[in-house]
Structure 1
Amino acid sequence: MADVKAILREVQAGRLDIEQASELLQGASTLDYATLDLDRASRTGFPEVVYGAGKQVEQLIGIMERLREHQEVVLVTRVSEEQAQRVLARWPDVQYEKEAGLLIASREPLRPVRDGYVAVVAAGTSDLGVAQEAAWTARCFGSEARVIADVGVAGIHRLFGRLAEIREAAVAVCVAGMEGALPSVLAGLVDIPVIAVPTSVGYGANFGGVSALLSMLNSCSAGVAVVNIDNGFGAGYMAGMIHRKIAGK
């Protein structure tokens, strides 16, 4: 819930105008095409995130403009290059992570606020886009994220070469397409939670990631939780929540 006294102090100090304060007290900001949840950070620990796919550029800019007035960090996922270039023309200070398909508007440079890190483990180079989405989401959440790429089961010795680094992490995000075997293997080798992300990478019988999803859901290794196909954001968000609870801040 909104901290009324804190908001009034911000108005008194001239850092908020009356309209902004009113929106914060209501916990929402309404546009013609969106109702923004300004109270989400106080309820969940992380502010509202924008899903960019399907939004007109004007809508995306309008939403970002309003959120930037109220949030320390504005994260936009599933952004096309055309959307990104239009946003950057408006705000050159916005960070565009092309491989991850993300826009990040942050008042201060992103930095870890807790000890330890999240390991984001990608089976193949083709899985890196989803892995980077997970890593940058965790960074926006205040965690350090280390991407460990191309350690899939087709050359499992590559995984063993990075295993010590993965074991030192607070939580692992494991991204894999094809048959989706890597999370099961990894979970049998570590004592940390493994968040499995199936990707749509693969040939016909991969069924756009369904094969990998079912493999991960049927993992015989304990300690594996599964998010939706290509949902790097969901995995990075969950990893950030777990890391925050483990670290106590």
Structure 2
Amino acid sequence: MSDQIKLDFDRTARVGFDEAILAAGKSTAQLTEILDQFLDRDQRCLITRLETAALERLSVTHRERLDYDPVSRTAYLNWSAPTVTEPRPHQVAVVSAGSSDMPQAAEAIRTLTYFGTSPHQFIDVGVAGLWRLLERLDELRTFPVVIAVAGMDGALPSVLGGLLPGAIICLPTSTGYGVSHHGETALHAALASCAPGLSVVNIDNGYGAACAAFRIVQLLGRDSSR
């Protein structure tokens, strides 16, 4: 089994954050081998798209080493929260149009938390009830990076792009009916947005949105230390 697995233990040195393991499509034997390699090196890892059924097929020994969240379907191995001597301001806002977008928003939040960046979440502020968003604008303007999570017509990122100065990363979701086409309409809306300067990740890719946000946060940290 080890000949099927080649993990990237040097990724942090190259790009500033470590490899995540996509659990979807992997057998129990493959996941076990991956976890064993990390445990043998006493290293941590983030696992994404880990279904509850796949988790339950792992051994008790492995499950006990995992911090699992069923909403985001993510797990942390060998991870502990960083020690913070004094509170730091949130740099990333995760703004979701509706509570139906929680799985994708939670994946982004869990990824950022794993990387050591504490995001702030704004839930259910979609444009169908625009007053809910307008109430939070002053607070949202304080964030240098915003992840906009929306399905259906995907209008939220464009609205935020016309109101906020920070970097906006669009996370289209598969939430919606009929012509929403499992997130394709939200994706196309983000790509065709007239709000300038938006960045877009693939449908439901909360992990990718978090990585994009974290790259920006890292650069901001370097600039502030100069």
Normalising to structure 2: TM-score of the pair? 0.90
Separation of aligned partners in 2, 1:51 and 1:103:
11
Give secondary structure in 2 for the equivalent of 1:175: strand
1:122 to 83, 87, 96: 96
In the other structure, the counterpart of 1:73 is: 44
Contact 2:169 2:213 in 1 (8 A): yes
Give secondary structure in 2 for the equivalent of 1:178: coil
Contact 1:192 1:223 in 2 (8 A): no
Normalising to structure 1: TM-score of the pair? 0.82
In the other structure, the counterpart of 2:212 is: 238
2:171 to 197, 204, 209: 197
- Kindly provide the amino acid, as one letter, of the partner of residue 223 in structure 1: G
1:164 Cα deviation from its structure 2 partner: 2.4
Long gaps (5+) in structure 2: none
Over residues 77-103 of structure 1, what are the superposed CA-to-partner deviations in whole Å (9 max), with x where a residue is unaligned?
011101223447223131101100101
Q: After the TM superposition, which of the residue ranges 194-203 and 31-40 deviates more from structure 2? A: 31-40
Coordinate RMSD, CA, aligned = 2.0
Separation of aligned partners in 2, 1:187 and 1:72:
39
- Kindly provide the amino acid, as one letter, of the partner of residue 84 in structure 1: L
- Kindly provide the amino acid, as one letter, of the partner of residue 213 in structure 1: L
Separation of aligned partners in 1, 2:58 and 2:124:
32
Q: CA 1:214–1:32 in 2, change beyond 3 Å: closer, same or farther?
A: same
Q: CA 1:202–1:52 in 2, change beyond 3 Å: closer, same or farther?
A: same
The reply to whether residue 213 of structure 1 matches residue 187 of structure 2 is yes
Q: After the TM superposition, which of the residue ranges 109-118 and 44-53 deviates more from structure 2? A: 109-118
> Number of paired residues?
220
The reply to whether residue 184 of structure 1 matches residue 158 of structure 2 is yes
In the other structure, the counterpart of 2:116 is: 142
Over residues 26-53 of structure 1, what are the superposed CA-to-partner deviations in whole Å (9 max), with x where a residue is unaligned?
xxxx923211111111111111110000
Over residues 185-221 of structure 1, what are the superposed CA-to-partner deviations in whole Å (9 max), with x where a residue is unaligned?
0111111000001111111101111111000001111
Q: CA 1:206–1:111 in 2, change beyond 3 Å: closer, same or farther?
A: farther
- The share of aligned pairs that are identical, in percent, is 39
Give secondary structure in 1 for the equivalent of 2:7: strand
In the other structure, the counterpart of 1:95 is: 67
Contact 1:122 1:151 in 2 (8 A): yes
Separation of aligned partners in 1, 2:159 and 2:58:
41
Q: CA 1:69–1:228 in 2, change beyond 3 Å: closer, same or farther?
A: same
Long gaps (5+) in structure 1: 1-29
Over residues 151-198 of structure 1, what are the superposed CA-to-partner deviations in whole Å (9 max), with x where a residue is unaligned?
000001111122222222220000100000000001111110000011
Q: CA 1:68–1:224 in 2, change beyond 3 Å: closer, same or farther?
A: farther
Tell me which structure has the larger Cα radius of gyration. Answer: 1
2:18 to 42, 47, 58: 47
The reply to whether residue 31 of structure 1 matches residue 19 of structure 2 is no
In the other structure, the counterpart of 2:81 is: 109
Separation of aligned partners in 2, 1:107 and 1:100:
17
Over residues 91-129 of structure 1, what are the superposed CA-to-partner deviations in whole Å (9 max), with x where a residue is unaligned?
313110110010111343256796532100000111010
